[in-house]
Amino acid sequence: MRQYLLSVIEPSEGEPPSTREMAAIDADVAEFDRGLREAGVWVFSGGLLPPGTATVLRPKDDGVLLSDGPFAEGKEHLGGFCVIAVADLDEALEWAGKAMRATRLPIEVRPFR
């Protein structure tokens, strides 16, 4: 089994989903999560708070420079992720398609080294 990271890509701008839309998305994501667990492919998953809550550490001389906010400003940001253990890329892409439909957002798929 190989492990794959399924990254949920959220827009940094624009209107968030309405309360009704978000309730439907939450239900679909919960169903997706149940499916992963029932299939035995779930390793770990989680949602992330907005990029403004991030702290970035950078090397500076012999010390560390801390800064608030995201590493890079952009039109999109990482909104959540899921690590799955599946046989191959094709199976990872199948699960990513299910995640895309549940979240209504783009999903990036990457294998672990």
Q: Residue 71 has what pLDDT?
A: 72
Q: What is the mean pLDDT of residues 15-35?
A: 96
Q: Which residues pair with 94 in a beta bridge?
A: none
Decide which of 3.40.50.2000, 3.30.70.1060, 1.10.1200.10, 3.40.190.170 is the CATH code for 2-111. 3.30.70.1060
Q: What is the mean pLDDT of residues 44-65?
A: 93
Taking only the tens place, the pLDDT of each residue in 70-113 is 777 789 999 999 999 999 999 999 999 999 999 999 999 999 99
CA torsion angle 96 99 101 105 (round to 10): -90
Locus of tokens 């998305």: 25
Please tell me the pTM assigned to this model: 0.90
Taking only the tens place, the pLDDT of each residue in 7-20 is 999 998 889 899 99
β pairing state of 55-60 and 63-68: antiparallel
Domain boundaries, the chain: 2-111
Q: Any idea which of 1-5, 23-27, 41-45, 64-68 has the lowest mean pLDDT? A: 64-68
Q: Residue 9 has what pLDDT?
A: 96
Buried b / exposed e over 70-99, threshold 16 CB at 10 Å, is beeeeeebebbbbbbebeeeebbeebbebb
Q: Residue 26 has what pLDDT?
A: 96
Q: Residue 88 has what pLDDT?
A: 98
Q: Which of 86, 85, 72, 79 is nearest to 100 (CA)?
A: 79
What does the alpha-carbon distance between residue 113 and residue 106 come to, in Å, rounded to a whole number? 23
